[in-house]
Structure 1
């Protein structure tokens, strides 16, 4: 930091000695020739200064509009974009496993539980950052704070290890699911190649995401991604609504405990997008606003997931049990093809945002996170994409893998650890008084905060982890037994 301070001192000193081109240049010795030369120099300085200012102004405007976003709206874009994309296509499948009533209840329950645990993460981040910046105001000028660092700074090395294991594993697997989803989705436009080949192709394309430095730089991408998924959600809703009546359609609901809790954990997984909370918050100019930003993101997502899941399941019923990807039940036409292409593009964007924390962890491990040469950081990220790519080809079970990740990783990473950590950090009255984020107005009591955290922990341990692991892992093992690892074309219809 010493060299950094010297650099800033040098810049400040340099700025004080910069010539003031707006003041007249003195005439030396009263000679006309020198006066003329001085006027020419003055005018040239004016022109150069104007050109430089105009260039800097245009470049700054471009960056502020398209590249460098840190407002609450930018955070909403990023939060919404990471929260919903390919998982939208699996909700009708989950509704077929759960039944209509349970599907709606679990969406609402896990959506609002996610908002609460996101609030816990926001609170801990605020305490950690305030403490660190009190020690060193420039501590995070070139450093992106991550969830495991918050846990380590507030609670010690064991919590840090738990955070880095569960969060890295979750985001790695979620990025893998995006690649699997690309292969599964594009197959519905062009089935001349098997899903495995499409996964190989699009996994290679995901390497370009290493070029995007931080969550600051996703403004345009996240905005377009939300528009794309909004179109897809309403395509599913409208297409299912106007589709011809399916003969002998049935809505049996859950047939066994494995199906029921597999569907429930897929929804649990779907509302686990706040695993990227800290990275998105750190990109904000006012990070404390994120707790409301995430609530608004979830409310918007409900307008996409509930209508589409309800109408598709109601139209096709138990048929959805054999089609984890909702596109599989719709006839090929230009509207479906548009939805497929737009969803595919959003999956690229979500891959970048979901993979970002893993990229940053890997950069820090290699010691290049603070490098002034971004090309080194980009190159360092490539092995992460290659590892994700390989796993996506090996386990291409779109749908069942979501549930397994939800029960094994989402439960701990974004529900159990945040709630437990918040309770431990604020266990003493002095800590509660010093906490930056006090209980919200509608609660006004630390006791209620502890009760809510305890209820979430008990529910997630029993339903999400306990029953969820049993059901989702059994379902995943059944898929592996049926199709094998490196399956060529998972759930592809037989060609006649």
Structure 2
């Protein structure tokens, strides 16, 4: 019955008003049919208040692809073609499974709390709160630490990527200077209240990355093969996770598990052709070019792709930072404040360390790899799988579960075995081998370019003719 009624929430009069898993008030408001403070059409609601399944799909797909579109060819150069394709598909479906687990635990937590009379009006439920409510403070601390660190460096990556991409249009300024400029631009995301308000941006962002993906694939094929294709090693993770906050922004969060899978399938159509084509064309050269744009010829098509990715990265920066804003607001007691300007001012301290880290470590390809192996391994895979096992370890919990096992795996034992496999696999292969490989590469970048690198992987300027050594005089 809970599943039928859904985790319903509405947006009324420009303010989030969470209704809850028990469907309280749903009949009066019609679930996700009416939102925005009335039955009539409102441009503000259309552009600003997103919580439908489509909004969630655009958010998931847009955030999964993000800057990874430009760094995945670099990952393929470390993995090899076949390993790269197979591992991307494998981890894509693995991520969809753990997204399903997170959605189940979210519904379980919210169901239990609302039965106790807890209201989530003007309060965004986050993943660490779900862990706290179901498993206790130690799990809350682990979830908070991994998720916040992951999102922090995810924001750093987007900021570095902005500077890296704009450099391929305008190289009169070095990448470090561009990082200063885009740091100030991205700081404006403090004015966007929540994930509800990214409706139009999510839609546009996915359109932009779709263009960029097919530009990379077509441009690489037209360019042709320029080097041999060696095979390298070790898996690199590339999925992004903002599950809790995106679900909370939905009017029917119980549908999230299906949405994430559909988003993953669409992302495959973007990342696999573009990464495979780039690797086929450039092979080993990608090992020293973590941004795919750097190997493609400068023309109007590439400039358009760069500009679209810049806009998308601004959006993704906001997506990654918003959960951090929420955590910080709760710490300082500002989360329930209705004034957008007061909340924006309170959020600014979150942007400063992101800005600083982007200037210290400007090598986003290696950072992507390290974040994936060391943080995403736990945030996206290990913690959700372990949490699901522990929450439903007793017969009582299983009998009273808000959601039963899915139709394709109706046995609780089967679910526990799948979750146990994920924990062991990701711990050994992802965190262990992947973490070792990514850290070796990260240290190598620091040794090669140093901290605060002014222009990471920029082409070296030609040596002036006057500065070249004169040819030796002939001997007679």
- Bucket of the pairwise TM-score, normalised by the shorter protein: 0.7 to 0.9
Summarize the alignment of residues 297-316 of structure 1 with structure 2, pairs less than 5 Å apart: 297-316=263-282
> Displacement of 1:368 after TM fit?
0.4
Paired position in structure 1 for 2:76: 95
> Displacement of 1:333 after TM fit?
0.2
Question: In 1, distance between residues paired with 2:338 and 2:172?
Answer: 45
Question: In 2, distance between residues paired with 1:406 and 1:58?
Answer: 44
For the 8 Å contact 2:225–2:280, the answer to whether it is kept is no
Paired position in structure 2 for 1:251: 229
> Displacement of 1:97 after TM fit?
1.0
Summarize the alignment of residues 28-47 of structure 1 with structure 2, pairs less than 5 Å apart: none
Paired position in structure 2 for 1:281: 247
Paired position in structure 1 for 2:26: none
Question: In 1, distance between residues paired with 2:454 and 2:204?
Answer: 32
> Displacement of 1:66 after TM fit?
0.8
Question: In 2, distance between residues paired with 1:403 and 1:465?
Answer: 11
Gaps of 5+ in 1: 1-55, 255-259
Q: Which structure is higher in helix share?
A: 1
| Equivalenced residues, count | 427
> Displacement of 1:353 after TM fit?
0.7
Alignment deviations for residues 299-356 of structure 1 (CA, whole Å, 9 cap, x no partner):
0000000000111110111111111100011110000000000001000000001111
Match of 2:50 among 69, 88, 91: 69
Summarize the alignment of residues 345-424 of structure 1 with structure 2, pairs less than 5 Å apart: 345-424=311-390
Is 1:491 aligned to residue 457 of structure 2?
yes
Paired position in structure 2 for 1:219: 199
Is 1:229 aligned to residue 209 of structure 2?
yes
Alignment deviations for residues 113-172 of structure 1 (CA, whole Å, 9 cap, x no partner):
0001111110110010011111125x1011000000000001111001111111001001
Is 1:452 aligned to residue 418 of structure 2?
yes
Aligned structure 1 segments of 4 or more residues deviating by more than 3 angstroms: 56-60
Alignment deviations for residues 58-80 of structure 1 (CA, whole Å, 9 cap, x no partner):
99612321111111001001111
For the 8 Å contact 2:374–2:431, the answer to whether it is kept is yes
3-state DSSP of counterpart to 1:489: coil
Paired position in structure 1 for 2:409: 443
Alignment deviations for residues 25-75 of structure 1 (CA, whole Å, 9 cap, x no partner):
xxxxxxxxxxxxxxxxxxxxxxxxxxxxxxx87996123211111110010
> Displacement of 1:96 after TM fit?
1.1
Alignment deviations for residues 179-235 of structure 1 (CA, whole Å, 9 cap, x no partner):
011111111111111111111111110011111111101010010000000000000
For the 8 Å contact 2:156–2:357, the answer to whether it is kept is yes
Is 1:167 aligned to residue 147 of structure 2?
yes
Summarize the alignment of residues 175-194 of structure 1 with structure 2, pairs less than 5 Å apart: 175-194=155-174
3-state DSSP of counterpart to 2:364: coil
Summarize the alignment of residues 427-438 of structure 1 with structure 2, pairs less than 5 Å apart: 427-438=393-404
Question: In 2, distance between residues paired with 1:88 and 1:234?
Answer: 10
For the 8 Å contact 2:191–2:344, the answer to whether it is kept is yes
Gaps of 5+ in 2: 1-36, 463-476
Question: In 1, distance between residues paired with 2:426 and 2:271?
Answer: 22
3-state DSSP of counterpart to 1:399: helix
Question: In 2, distance between residues paired with 1:189 and 1:172?
Answer: 27
**Greater gyration radius:** 1
Question: In 2, distance between residues paired with 1:94 and 1:441?
Answer: 35
Q: TM-score, normalised by structure 2?
A: 0.88
Question: In 1, distance between residues paired with 2:312 and 2:189?
Answer: 12
Q: TM-score, normalised by structure 1?
A: 0.84
